[in-house]
């Protein structure tokens, strides 16, 4: 290569920069480049830089491990996307960048940062007149490469600087981009957190259908592949059902068995589901399916204890003795019912958070951008978006004109399935939580009056009456 060509490449200014060239970051580089943007990437790991440059083979993409070269290679005002692990790594990167950035430069945190951290970073960087956005991205490595669902938050004027780029690289449904400005501050990361909470819930529900089909129904992997493939053409169509069907066909290269049977039944997590549960409790929004999904991942880790308990405490395994086709049909209805209630819980949390944190969220817009690219995309989201479009002030999806009839009809299936689970000793905690949530939400009276009486009895916490206004306390006939 000539000296002049080397100099020209060195002087080239790039449209966008990406810090973190792991699978997600590298795929995002290529996605952006496919849409006409020159992109420079930075990573301290030389092997990641070399991999990018080798795969690119194009001067419109460059990887470097030199921060100065990275920053100087960007057009001003600079736009830098961070694809690094959430937590202290984000702060470390920001602290390294601050001395070499200029006013009006923009940092976009595209990781799973906690929304409160995002608020703090926005305020801190504003002191240096540097803009900061929290941007949720869902879709995994394939989404990053070919079109994710993107959930941006921050100042609207700042979003408008990058809206064209984000729309171009996002997933499309009916030619509509799966991205829109969601609101100020940490809105984007909050919405992504709730997305992940819903994801936890849906995955647990699907796992419970697998448990019942495998252990009580005795279905083998080929039969399971067929069941989930058929389901994916019906009312529970979704990305998660699609990949579940695929999983049952995958062979293990080492043993030639089906890979699913060789994977340890211990589920890991990165914390976003727990964050969702935690904020739901803070805002007093019931999220039983999500809460249970987090707890079941926790319980799955106790493998040795579970094996010991199985030997000591359980009775002989009981198989389902009824019509297996009916079981599959009831399970599909049960999954449909519980998927609706899971989305409903997530949407209610977004609604309450919008008020508490002044996000001014448009739930119809959120459902719309979740239709493509993201992990929780499903047939249901079309109707969810329509429900919130038709009833913008809808307090809970269960009350929507679109879903109330669907829930009434499909509850037959979930009640049958839970009965079978109890009879065969197959735990279905998320489905039980889904039905209990529905039954409780539909109860004009709940026994909470007894709880409040107990609180007043032992702690003088007072209570309200149902026949007059005011707050009351009783000196109960306490036992001596």
Q: What is the C-alpha separation between 444 and 470, in angstroms, rounded?
A: 21
| 139 marked among binding-site residues | yes
Q: Residue range 260-276: average pLDDT?
A: 91
Output the domain CATH number for residue 466.
Answer: 1.20.5.320
Give the model confidence (pLDDT) of 353-407 as tens digits: 999 999 999 999 999 999 999 999 999 999 999 999 999 999 999 999 999 999 9
| 138 marked among binding-site residues | yes
| 319 marked among binding-site residues | no
Distances (CA, A) of 111 to 115, 138, 418: 11, 10, 38
Identify whether 199 is a catalytic site residue: yes
| 297 marked among binding-site residues | yes
Distances (CA, A) of 161 to 77, 167, 286, 350: 10, 12, 38, 26
| 211 marked among binding-site residues | no
Residue 109 contacts residue 132 (beta carbons within 8 Å): yes
363-369 long-range contacts (CB < 8 A, ≥24 apart) are 363/388, 363/392, 363/394, 364/388, 364/389, 364/392, 365/180, 365/182, 366/151, 366/182, 366/191, 368/173, 368/176, 368/178, 368/180, 369/149, 369/150, 369/151, 369/170, 369/177, 369/178, 369/179, 369/180
Report the alpha-carbon angle 463-464-470, nearest 5: 115
pLDDT of residue 6: 46
* Structure token digits, residue 251: 């062979």
Of the candidates 85, 26, 93, the one whose C-alpha atom is nearest the C-alpha of residue 61 is 26
Report which of residues 478 and 351 the model is more confident about.
351
* Structure token digits, residue 203: 């995955």
Task: State whether 413 and 339 are in the same domain.
Answer: yes
Give the model confidence (pLDDT) of 36-94 as tens digits: 999 999 999 999 999 999 999 889 999 999 999 999 999 999 999 999 999 999 999 99
Whether 176 is covered by a domain: the verdict is: yes
Task: State whether 454 and 396 are in the same domain.
Answer: no
Q: Residue range 180-204: average pLDDT?
A: 98
pLDDT for 478 beyond 80: no
Task: State whether 126 and 239 are in the same domain.
Answer: no
Q: Which residue do the tokens 């062979």 mark?
A: 251
pLDDT for 102 beyond 70: yes
Whether 72 is covered by a domain: the verdict is: yes
Task: State whether 176 and 208 are in the same domain.
Answer: no
pLDDT of residue 202: 99
Report the alpha-carbon angle 169-174-180, nearest 5: 50
Identify whether 464 is a catalytic site residue: no
pLDDT of residue 154: 97
| 189 marked among binding-site residues | no
Q: Among the three residues 124, 152, 185, which one is the final residue of a domain in this structure?
A: 185
Q: What is the C-alpha separation between 364 and 381, in angstroms, rounded?
A: 9
Selecting among 127, 192, 249, 348, the annotated active-site residue is 192
Q: Residue range 8-14: average pLDDT?
A: 67
- Neighbouring residues of 302: CB distance < 8 A, sequence distance ≥ 6: none
Q: What is the C-alpha separation between 110 and 126, in angstroms, rounded?
A: 18
Q: What are phi and psi of 394, to 5 degrees?
A: -60, 125
pLDDT of residue 479: 65
| 479 marked among binding-site residues | no
Mean pLDDT of the chain: 94
Q: Among the three residues 185, 203, 225, which one is the final residue of a domain in this structure?
A: 185
Least-confidence region, from 175-189, 305-319, 378-392, 455-469: 305-319
Task: State whether 269 and 395 are in the same domain.
Answer: yes
Selecting among 50, 103, 176, 199, the annotated active-site residue is 199
Residue 117 contacts residue 90 (beta carbons within 8 Å): yes
Task: State whether 325 and 469 are in the same domain.
Answer: no
Could you give the number of structural domains in the chain? 3
Task: State whether 365 and 220 are in the same domain.
Answer: yes
Give the model confidence (pLDDT) of 411-439 as tens digits: 999 999 999 999 999 999 999 999 999 99
Q: Which residue do the tokens 């004009």 mark?
A: 444
Residue range(s) defining the domain that contains residue 209: 192-441
Q: What is the C-alpha separation between 257 and 357, in angstroms, rounded?
A: 50
**pLDDT band at residue 238, thresholds of 50, 70 and 90?**
very high
pLDDT for 1 beyond 50: no
* Structure token digits, residue 462: 């007072």
pLDDT of residue 427: 96
Of the candidates 132, 183, 148, the one whose C-alpha atom is nearest the C-alpha of residue 362 is 183
Question: ω into residue 77 within 30 of 0, thus cis?
Answer: yes
Task: State whether 437 and 469 are in the same domain.
Answer: no
Output the domain CATH number for residue 126.
Answer: 3.40.50.720
Output the domain CATH number for residue 374.
Answer: 1.10.1040.10
Residue 288 contacts residue 345 (beta carbons within 8 Å): yes
């Amino acid at each position: 290569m000539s000296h002049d060509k080397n100099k020209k490449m060195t002087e080239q200014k790039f449209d966008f920069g990406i810090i973190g060239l792991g699978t997600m970051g590298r795929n995002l580089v290529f996605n952006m480049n496919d849409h006409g943007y020159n992109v420079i990437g930075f990573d301290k790991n030389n092997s990641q830089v070399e991999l990018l440059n080798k795969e690119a083979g194009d001067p419109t993409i460059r990887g470097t491990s030199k921060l100065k070269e990275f920053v100087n290679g960007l057009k001003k005002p600079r736009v830098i996307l961070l694809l690094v692990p959430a937590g202290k790594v984000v702060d470390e990167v920001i602290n390294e960048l601050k001395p070499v950035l200029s006013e009006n430069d923009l940092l976009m945190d595209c990781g799973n940062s906690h929304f409160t951290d995002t608020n703090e970073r926005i305020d801190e960087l504003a002191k240096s007149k540097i803009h900061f956005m929290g941007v949720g991205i869902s879709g995994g490595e394939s989404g990053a490469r070919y079109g994710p669902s993107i959930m941006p938050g921050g100042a609207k004027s700042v979003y408008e600087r990058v809206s064209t780029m984000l729309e171009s690289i996002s997933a499309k449904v009916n030619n509509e981009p799966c991205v829109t400005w969601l609101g100020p501050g940490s809105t984007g990361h909050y919405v992504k957190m709730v997305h992940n909470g819903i994801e936890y819930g849906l995955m647990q529900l699907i796992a419970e259908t697998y448990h019942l089909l495998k252990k009580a129904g005795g279905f083998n992997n080929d039969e399971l592949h067929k069941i989930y493939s058929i389901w994916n053409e019906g009312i529970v169509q979704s990305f998660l059902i699609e990949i579940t069907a695929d999983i049952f066909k995958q062979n293990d290269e080492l043993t030639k068995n089906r890979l699913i049977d060789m994977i340890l039944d211990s589920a890991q997590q990165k914390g976003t589901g727990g964050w969702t549960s935690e904020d739901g409790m803070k805002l007093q929004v019931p999220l039983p399916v999500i809460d249970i999904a987090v707890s079941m991942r926790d319980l799955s880790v106790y493998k040795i204890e579970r094996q010991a308990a199985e030997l000591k405490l359980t009775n002989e395994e009981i198989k389902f003795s009824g019509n297996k086709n009916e079981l599959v049909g009831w399970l599909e209805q049960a999954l449909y019912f519980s998927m609706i209630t899971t989305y409903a819980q997530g949407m209610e949390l977004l609604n309450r958070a919008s008020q508490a944190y002044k996000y001014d969220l448009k739930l119809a817009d959120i459902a719309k951008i979740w239709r493509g690219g993201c992990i929780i995309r499903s047939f249901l989201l079309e109707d969810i978006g329509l429900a919130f479009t038709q009833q913008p002030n809808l307090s809970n999806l269960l009350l929507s004109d679109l879903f109330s009839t669907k829930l009434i009809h499909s509850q037959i299936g979930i009640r049958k399935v839970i009965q079978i689970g109890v009879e065969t000793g197959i735990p279905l905690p998320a489905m039980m939580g889904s039905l209990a949530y529905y039954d409780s939400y539909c109860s004009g009276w709940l026994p909470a009056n007894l709880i409040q009486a107990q609180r007043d009895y032992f702690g003088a916490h007072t209570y309200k009456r149902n026949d007059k206004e005011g707050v009351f306390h009783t000196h109960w006939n306490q036992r001596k």
